[in-house]
Structures are given as structure tokens and as C-alpha cells.
Amino acid sequence: MRRQAIKEQELNSGHAVSRLWHGYFATSLIKKMTIGFVLGLIVAFAIGPRAHILAPVGTIFIRLLEMIVVPIVFFLLANAIIRTASGKSVARIGMKAVTFYMLTTAFATCIGLLISLLMAPGAGVHLPGLKAQHGELPPVADMITGIVPQNIVSALSSPEILPVIFVAVIAAFAIRSLGAANDGVDRKYGVLAADLVSMGNRVTFKILGGILQFAPIGVFALVASQIGDQGVSTLIALGKLTAAIYAGLAVQMFFVYSPIMMMFRIKLRNFFRDSRAALLTAFSTQSSAGTLPVAMEAAEAAGLDETVAGFVLPLGATINMDGAAVRYAAEIVFAANIVGMEFTLGSLALVVLTTVLISVGTGGIPGGGLIGLTVLLGMLNLPIEIVALVAGIDTILGMGCTLLNVTGDLVCAHVVNASELRRKGDG
């Protein structure tokens, strides 16, 4: 009797685990990620720095996302060009995207300056006397030539996205050319290569689906470990600066992005519904590149053209740093308040120009937020000790800024897609 009771208990336990397992997979991704985020906050505030023990789990999640970025960008963009795009359409899409990104980054800088000038976040703040190292940006010429890789293998093994885009575009047009050749052998190999690219595209998205099932656990670990390490003391100490930056992010979100989407008849409710998983991932990981696979999923869910999404989103993950622009502008005012520096119209124009250039230039640099700030402060003759002060809340600021960056990427993809649809309709 006892053995039978034990067997029944084990059977019931097995059924319970099975139900939990199936229930987990049946629950929508956004619900699971939201639960993970909330539980992460609870653990962070409950045990504080001890939550750092969960950091390796969060690191694994980020690495899984980074692992799939290059194959997704390559196969998605190459497949889209092979199947649908012409050379003219790719150039046109690229020009629209770059124009959008540059203009919105300039808007973000102006918004960050205006709000910070009104709030004066550095008033009454004293420097702790810490020194920061000078950061260096690569020359503009190096950034341009870096788009063209020395070899294909290094491009596909590098975390840099622009060389991957370059190789994908070149390979796609070569395959298109083979497929359209008069020679039967060339045409045969062109069709085969196109099928292989299509297969690679499907395989990478299958892998992505598996990675996203781990996302709620990764988000939980990231939030718990990062917030637990930072605590709330630094947020209180620099609360005004944090408030100014987040106010700027909100203004950019609702008074720049939203009107633009309304101009192109993009429904805001549908946009945020389709994008919420990507936005939560961006907020949790603080990585535009790491969020790229989830953003691709959001674009697919919204029904965007593959060519548009495959080109605009990777480009945005590299050069669109609206969140960084808001942050830099606020931190410059913060530093100016501390030393009592007054701004003139000329100095404000210089801040806007340099902030736009630096925010774009630091996009692919690890720790780019702090490095870019160091460079900006040096250019404007402001104390670089501010970098050490701001570093204490870098995680808190990075969360909101990355969320805005990814939002801008997705808005651009939707706008360019709507523009292309209008063009086809007029044509």
C-alpha cells in the first residue's frame, strides 16, 4: 500500500511539473517577461547586492541574444534582397532611414538641453573628487572605412553590425545576378544559393524562438543583479539628473515619435502592442544590438516588409542613439550647473552638433555612454570628474536610454515601411 501511495505521489508530482512546463510555454512572452521583471525588482530590493549571484544567468541571456544577432541580420537582409528588392529600393530605404535617425537624434539633443536647463539638475551638487580617464573615439575616416571588412570571415565573426550589412548586401546581389544569368550552370547555382539563404533565415528564427523562451528568466536575473548592485542610494543622490533624463526620454517618445507615427497613419496602440516585448528586452538588457533579434520579431508581428526591417533595424541598432543624445545633453547641463557655466546661443549650437556626432560615433563602443560623455566634457572644457559621478547610476540611465533607442529603431522601420507602401500605391 505504501509503495502504491509513493508511486501515485510521484505520478501526481510528474503531472504537476508537466502542467507547469506546458503552462509556461502557453503563456505569452510579454506576460512572462513582465513577471520576470517584477520578480527581479522584488528580489533586488529584498536582498540587495547579494542578488549579484544571479548575474551569470543574465549574462548567459545577453550572450544568447548577441550570438544570434549576426546570423539574423545576414540571412534576413540577404533573403529579403534576393527575393524582393532592387538596388534602387535598398538605396532609397537606406537614405530614408539615415535621414530619420539624424533628425530625431537632433530633436532628442534639443529636448534634453531644454528640460535640463529648466530643471538645473546640477544645482547644489558637489564633486566627490574622483578622476575619470579620457575616452577616445576613432577618427571619422576609420569609422567609414570600417564598414568594408578586410575579409568576409572577420566580418561575420565580429560584433560590428555595419560590416555584416555590407557583406549581406554584396552577397545578395551576387546571388541575384547568378539567378538571373543566361548561363544554365550559373542560374542553377544562383537558385541553390538563394534556397540556402532562405533555409538559413528559417533556421536562425527557429533558434531565436528557443532563446526567447529563456528571456523571462534572463530578464529576472538581469534586473535582480543590476538593481541589487546599484541600490537606491545613488538614484536618490542624483535624482534630479535622473528625473531630467527620463523626462526628456518621455517627451521624445510621446511628442516626437508619436506625432510622426500619426502623420504616417500608424496606429499607436498596435505599435506598442507589437513592440512591447522588444521594449522590455531593451530596458532590461541595456543593449540595442542584443535587443535586435526581438525587435526583428516585433517587426514581423507588425507585418513590416522584410527588406525594410532587415535594413532599417540593424542600421538603427548601430547609429540611432536618441537616448544617448538626451542623456549627454542633460549631463552636460549637469556639469555646467556644478561649475557655474552659463550657456550662449553659440555654445548651445555647439552642444547640439557635437552631441549628435558623438552619440552616433559611440554607438558600437562598449561602455560608449561613459566614453562619449568623457569626450564631450573635454571638448566643452567641463570637468571630467562628472563621469565618475554619473557612473554610479549608469545602469539606471542606460535602461531608459536603450528603451528609447529601440523605440526609435522600430518607429523608423514603421515609417519607412509606410512610406514605401505609399510609393507603391502612387506608382
Predicted confidence (pLDDT) per residue in 232-265, tens digit: 554 555 688 999 999 999 999 999 999 999 999 9
Residue type, 206: K
Per-residue confidence at 193, pLDDT binned at 50, 70, 90?
very high
- Which 8-state DSSP code applies to residue 256? I
Report which secondary-structure segment, H or E, holds 423: helix 394-426
Of 1-10, 18-27, 317-326, which has the strongest mean pLDDT? 317-326
State the sign of the Cα–Cα–Cα–Cα dihedral 25, 30, 33, 35.
Answer: negative
d(CA 145, CA 167) in angstroms, rounded, equals 14
Establish how many alpha carbons lie within 13 A of residue 132's alpha carbon, considering only the half-sphere containing its beta carbon. Answer: 25
**What pLDDT is stored for residue 376 in this prediction?**
79
**Residue of 407 and 67 predicted with greater confidence:** 407
Query: Nearest-5° angle of CA 231, CA 234, CA 235?
Result: 85
Residue 374, pLDDT > 80, answer: no
**By percentage, how much of the chain surpasses pLDDT 90?**
27
| pLDDT for residue 122 is more than 90 | no
- Can you give the pLDDT at residue 107? 96
pLDDT of residue 230: 62
Report whether pLDDT(141) > 50. Answer: yes
DSSP 52: G
Averaged over 186-210, what is the pLDDT?
89
Residue 172 CA to residue 53 CA, distance in Å, equals 45
Place of cell 528625473: 243
Q: What would the DSSP string read from start to end of 286-300?
A: --HHHHHHHHHHHHH
Residue 243, pLDDT score: 93
Give the cell for residue 305. Answer: 516588409
The least confident of 9-23, 107-121, 127-141, 286-300 is 127-141
Instruction: Tell whether the model's pLDDT for residue 115 goes beyond 80.
Output: yes
CB 356, CB 325: distance < 8 Å? yes
**Residue ranges of the alpha helices (H) in 120-183?**
140-145, 152-157, 161-179
Residue 143 has, within 13 A of its CA and on its CB side, a CA count of: 15
Cβ neighbours of 270 (radius 10 Å)? 14
Q: Which residue has the higher pLDDT, 137 or 338?
A: 338
* pLDDT over threshold 80, residue 21: no
Return the closest-CA partner of residue 398 out of 236, 232, 249.
249
pLDDT, mean of residues 392-418: 90
H helices of 231-340, where?
Answer: 233-237, 239-252, 258-263, 268-285, 288-301, 306-319, 322-339
Asked if residue 407 has pLDDT above 90, the reply is yes
CA–CA distances in Å: residue 208 to residues 3, 131, 410? 44, 42, 19
Mean pLDDT on 399-405: 92
Distances (CA, A) of 126 to 33, 334, 339, 379: 39, 11, 9, 22
Q: Assign 123 to helix, strand or coil.
A: coil
pLDDT of residue 298: 93
Spatial contact of 160 and 66, defined as CB atoms under 8 Å apart: no
Strands of 50-185, DSSP E:
none
Q: Which three cell numbers stand for residue 287?
A: 543593449
C-alpha pair distances (Å), 16 with each of 6, 29, 426: 15, 21, 58
- pLDDT (tens digit per residue) in 95-113: 999 999 999 999 999 999 9
Judged by average pLDDT, the poorest of 77-81, 202-206, 271-275 is 77-81
Residue 113 contacts residue 337 (beta carbons within 8 Å): no
Q: What nine digits make up the cell of 200?
A: 538559413
* Distances in whole angstroms, Cα of residue 369 to Cα of each of 60, 138, 329: 23, 15, 12
User: Under 8 Å CB-to-CB from 209, ≥6 apart: which residues?
Assistant: none
Q: Which of 194-198, 202-206, 420-424 has the highest mean pLDDT?
A: 194-198
The angle formed by the CA atoms of residues 232, 229 and 290, to the nearest 5 degrees, is: 110
d(CA 342, CA 340): 7
- The chain-wide mean pLDDT, for the chain, equals 81
Q: Tell me the pLDDT tens digit for each residue of 261-284.
A: 999 999 999 999 999 999 998 998
Cell of 241: 539628473
What is the grid cell recorded at 174?
551576387
Which DSSP letter does residue 381 get? T
- Report the pLDDT value the prediction gives residue 385, as an integer from 0 to 100: 66
Round to whole Å and give the CA distance between 403 and 285. 9
pLDDT tens-digit readout, 295-340? 999 999 999 998 899 889 988 887 898 999 999 999 999 888 877 7
Structural domains of the chain, ranges and CATH numbers in brackets = 51-426 (1.10.3860.10)
